[in-house]
Amino acid sequence: MGESKHRKQSELDYGKRPKGGRGIMLVPDFIEPRRNGGLEAHKHLSAEQLRFALLFWDRIAWPSVRFFQGDNNVETDFLMKAGVLVRPETQLAPSSMSVGRCLANAYFDVFQKLENKEPGRWSLAAETDADIRAFLGDMVVPDRGVNVSLHRAIPVPRGDAPLEDILEFKLKRDPELLALREEIDTARRLVTSSTDRAQEFATQWDRIDGACRDLLLVSREMKMPIRIADMSFGLEITGGAILAAIGAAATAYTLKETNTLVTSLASAGASCVKFAKTYGTRRNLLKKSPLRYVHHFHEDIDWQ
């Protein structure tokens, strides 16, 4: 029996896109001044953050907060008209906290409402891990999760890549995009089950390696201006399961095929999967929806 047929029989959701698709809620950049610990926040999303979300998710949420509205622009207007971007409305509650902290709380309220309406369909994304930590604030609990990073492994459209081209690319290459998400979801299940079957982990990283390579190759066909980037996702698990998961997965796994392709196109640098203990949230607030974020961009790829 072929592997894909076997997985369709054993994994009910394999190869199926949830109704409405997967969603990502974007978190803006947060700045934490040293003097009083209050937060400041940028009102706008970066061009690359928007394109990262557009490429890998079906829906994008960017909350519209009363009294602190990030202004729309030509690009956000375009995505709203295309039915991809939504701006759920919320408002800042009166508080003695900094405006940035109030904004973070308002954003999190929007995320919880999205998640409650469609459990497991929504994730959070920010450009850096520091932004996620600042966003979550006192909800953070150390050593309650595993961070898995696909290092130098995925293509992300540059900030000047036309949005129309990305949407066209998604229509033509949906199987490759969906394949990577499916393999990442399978990896999530393996990690959270805290299995010690090293061979099963190794096989899954090989599948992710192939999915990353295929996505890079089809990006090359489209000649879309891209940068090599990392994709990380944080999984909330507790106790000894964390050490067991990291022990089974090892601390790094080289993505051989992706690495060969990347090094042939750009400067040398290993493409691999990295693992580390990380934080979780109080009461496992994000257990069903892993944090996902690009935390580092690498060099441009020249397809010529």
Residue 176 CA: distances (Å) to CA of 44, 53, 114, 173: 30, 16, 27, 6
Which range has the worst mean pLDDT, 87-91, 155-159, 239-243?
239-243
Beta bridge partners, 280, equal: 141
| Distance of alpha carbon 128 from alpha carbon 229, whole angstroms | 12
Alpha-helix residue ranges (DSSP H) falling in 142-225: 163-172, 174-192, 198-222
pLDDT band, very low/low/confident/very high, at 300 (cuts 50, 70, 90): confident
Over the chain, what is the mean pLDDT?
79
The model's pLDDT over 105-124, given as tens digits with 9 standing for 90+, comes to 888 889 989 988 998 889 88
Q: Which are the contacts of 245, defined by CB distance < 8 A and separation ≥ 6?
A: 146, 191, 192, 194, 235, 237, 275
What is the predicted pLDDT for the residue at 50? Answer: 92
| Distance of alpha carbon 105 from alpha carbon 190, whole angstroms | 32
The model's pLDDT over 60-98, given as tens digits with 9 standing for 90+, comes to 999 887 766 567 889 999 999 999 999 998 876 666 666
CA neighbor of 56 nearest in space, from 203, 182, 161? 182
Higher pLDDT, 134 or 75: 75
The model's pLDDT over 20-37, given as tens digits with 9 standing for 90+, comes to 788 999 987 765 554 555
pLDDT band, very low/low/confident/very high, at 177 (cuts 50, 70, 90): very high
What is the predicted pLDDT for the residue at 91? Answer: 74
Give domain limits for the chain.
Answer: 3-300
Residue for token pair 């595993």:
146
What is the predicted pLDDT for the residue at 96? Answer: 63
Higher pLDDT, 267 or 85: 85
| Distance of alpha carbon 287 from alpha carbon 161, whole angstroms | 34
CA neighbor of 215 nearest in space, from 164, 276, 150? 150
What is the predicted pLDDT for the residue at 169? Answer: 93
CA neighbor of 231 nearest in space, from 154, 161, 145, 298? 154
Judged by DSSP in three states, 277 sits in strand
Higher pLDDT, 252 or 129: 129
Evaluate whether 234 touches 176 at the Cβ level (below 8 Å).
no
What is the predicted pLDDT for the residue at 249? Answer: 58
pTM comes to: 0.83
Evaluate whether 230 touches 276 at the Cβ level (below 8 Å).
no
What is the predicted pLDDT for the residue at 5? Answer: 44
Q: Which are the contacts of 102, defined by CB distance < 8 A and separation ≥ 6?
A: 92, 93, 95
